[in-house]
Amino acid sequence: MTIESIAFLEIIKLSFVLITLFVAIRLSVYLLKRMWQKKKYKLIWTPIDFIERRSNLSYDEFVKEYVSVGKPVIITDVMQDWKALKKWTLDFFKSQYGSIEYLVKDDKKQERGIMSIADYIDYMNVNDGEDRLYLANWVVSYYPELLEDYKEPVYFPNWFQKLPRKVLQKYEYDNPEIFIGYKGTSVGLHKDPSSCAAWLGLISGRKKIIFFTPEQENFLHDGKVDAFNPNLENFPLYTKAKPVEVILEPGEIIYIPPDWWHQVENLENSIGMGNLFVNEWNSELVFQSFAEQNFIKGSLLPLILEFPWLSKFVLAVGLL
Ligand SMILES: O=C(O)CCC(=O)C(=O)O
Ligand SMILES: [Fe+2]
């Protein structure tokens, strides 16, 4: 072997050692940071008697008074500069998006077929109320021009936005979503998926919302009970539940903490918009919930949120 080839081998070895060292240090920093975050952002839940309405709320106040103590709140002054507030009417959706077809569901969360937006809006105007089909969870991001009509409120930074759209679409976290519902429609009692937090803004109409703290889950019969009209013979445990009810008005946004059960009913024909999100306060709950559904995917989620460039690789090899 020549001196040059020995030197070349040494350089390769040294590079290998340095890269391994770099990866090991980076991973240790990540693990330490996660341990520190777990301690610092310990979410608790606070029972409430009513839902507060706030305006002029700073982000820090919002976190201190609501997010970190797991309390819902209505924010009354964030939607005022959304173009959507004036622009998004039933006529607007009918004329601009009328031919788009979307899934409609009943209040038992059963999918009841596909309808065009125009047909749904006609149906809202003529239906006699027997058959309560709801055009809920219409994903806005397929129509990027609609995204310009609203502004993601500063209160709700979302870690999911670090992920490529492809991944979000695949797992149906490619929000926000629009809810067009006629009077009397509801998505039924539920908690939002995977311990995500959520916000829901109302463009028009009024919505009645009923809330339950997470520890009341055992009284809710897996969400089979209709909290607005409970049948106590069939769902006796519900007598122990302590619901808190509020009416959301147009121009208001409500924050729904992770794992809170809720049922929403459109008191009038309405247009709403909402999003699910992950932040430092619910991230560990979200990771845990994903891991319960699929251990590999659940373990990969925190890693790809920390190292978003990894997601392309993980997606390419089919692990996501
Ligand atoms: O009907 C609505 O406006 C909100 C429904 C809801 O809570 C959800 O989709 O998770
Ligand atoms: Fe929900």
Q: Whose CA is nearest to atom 10 of ligand 1?
A: 192
Mean pLDDT of the chain: 91
Residue 39 half-sphere exposure toward CB, CA atoms < 13 A: 5
Q: Ligand 1, closest atom to CA 134? A: 1
pLDDT in tens, 86-111: 999 999 999 999 999 999 988 777 88
Q: Which residues pair with 207 in a beta bridge?
A: 248, 266
Distance 189 CA to ligand 1 centre (A): 9
pLDDT, residue 67, reads 96
CATH assignment, 44-281: 2.60.120.650
Q: Which atom of ligand 1 is nearest to the CA of 272?
A: 3
Per-residue pLDDT at 38 exceeds 80: yes
Q: Tell me the domain boundaries of the chain.
A: 1-40, 44-281
Q: Tens digit of pLDDT for each residue in 137-185?
A: 898 878 889 989 999 899 999 999 888 888 888 777 888 999 999 999 9
Cβ atoms 37, 279 nearer than 8 A? no
Q: Pick the residue whose CA is nearest to atom 2 on ligand 1.
A: 264
Q: Which residue is closest in CA terms to ligand 1's atom 4? A: 264
- Looking at the DSSP bridge assignments, the partners of residue 256 are 198
* pTM for this predicted structure: 0.91
Query: Ligand 1 centroid to 187 CA: how many Å?
Result: 6
For 64, 85, 134, 162, the CA distances from 76, given in Å and listed in that order, are: 18, 13, 26, 28
| Centroid of ligand 2 to alpha carbon of 173 (angstroms) | 13
- Of all ligands present, the nearest one to the C-alpha of 274 is 1
Q: Which atom of ligand 1 is nearest to the CA of 198?
A: 10
The answer, yes or no, to whether residue 318 has pLDDT greater than 80, is no
pLDDT at res. 204? 97
Q: Which ligand is nearest to the CA of 191?
A: 2
Centroid of ligand 1 to alpha carbon of 201 (angstroms): 10
What's the gap in Å between 125 CA and the centre of ligand 1? 21
For residue 129, name the pLDDT band (cuts at 50, 70, 90). low
CA 139–ligand 2 middle distance (angstroms) = 15
pLDDT at 128: 65
**Residues in contact with ligand 1 (CB, 6 Å cut-off):** 136-137, 179, 187, 192, 200, 207, 262, 264, 272, 274
When mean pLDDT is compared across 170-174, 195-199, 237-241, 294-298, the lowest value belongs to 170-174
